[in-house]
Amino acid sequence: MTHVHPGRWRLMLALAIASFTTGSTALAAQWEGTIGAGAIYTPDYLGSDDYEWNAFPGFEATYDNTFFVSMRNGIGWNIVNQNGWQVAPFLGYTFGRDDTGDIADLDKVDGGATAGLRISYQGNDWRYSASAETPFTGDVDGYRFALKANQVTRFGERTVVTFGPSVAYTSADWTDDLFSVSPSESARSGINAYDPDDGFFAIGADASLSYYLTSQWSVTGIVGASMLTGDASDSPIVNDHGSDMQWRTGAFINYHF
């Protein structure tokens, strides 16, 4: 599971609720998905080596396998949906950089909404996706490309295991907004000034184990890791005061409708 800033789930949940309340009873019957709650253990900010637990909601829903609202994939519309292929413009959210812990004296970088396009393919037990997105609010600029693969394996009627690698590339402007240290920030924080001039890759993998208590209720455990490379890894925020290896884990209880 990709690390998600709290601002993203607030945006996703608010828009999800709005979409349901505006629908009629007849339309609501064609919605299907999962709603849940749990806790995740993630770094304080991207590149940090300090971790904390946070309560976290889970939400995935589709209408007629076309319109979707998702904590992971944003809000979008499958304009192509045939022969296993889906093409969807979407709205998402990207986290910024909180001024906390080792970087409390640096400027806060506000996250913001993004607009993007995702192409995915479902083949047997594997699902593949490629996406591109760019922020249009907040303090983060530039663009991000992401490639993901995910395998779903069922053991009996109650147990489902997923696993998949991922790679993301973030442009120079995006890297600069999250990992730079200006001379004024350096003077008040003691962290070396840093001005990245290139993008970075984040390479990782995620796995989950779900056990269905009933046909509608399940519990899920997740674990994942990613490594920052390039100018992000070289930033003193990461190299001197954090870590380029980012871990995450969590547990959820889910209701399927």
pLDDT of residue 19: 42
Question: Domain 34-57+98-256 maps to which CATH number in 3.40.50, 2.40.160, 3.10.450, 2.60.40?
Answer: 2.40.160
Tens digits of per-residue pLDDT, 3-18?
A: 444 444 444 444 444 4
- Indicate whether 23 pLDDT > 80: no
pLDDT of residue 143: 98
CA distance 50 to 237: 12
- Indicate whether 231 pLDDT > 90: yes
Query: Residue 93, CB half-sphere, CA atoms under 13 Å: how many?
Result: 23
pLDDT of residue 76: 97
pLDDT of residue 32: 94
Q: Are strands 217-228 and 245-256 parallel, antiparallel or unpaired?
A: antiparallel
pLDDT of residue 196: 96
Please state the pTM of the whole predicted model. 0.85
Tens digits of per-residue pLDDT, 139-178?
A: 999 999 999 999 999 999 999 999 999 999 999 999 999 9
**What are the residue boundaries of the structural domains of the chain, listed by start?**
34-57+98-256
pLDDT of residue 203: 98
Tens digits of per-residue pLDDT, 104-153?
A: 999 999 999 999 999 999 988 999 999 999 999 999 999 999 999 999 99
Give percent helix, percent strand, percent coil of the chain, each to the nearest 5. Answer: 20, 55, 30
Q: How many CB atoms lie within 10 A of CB 200?
A: 24
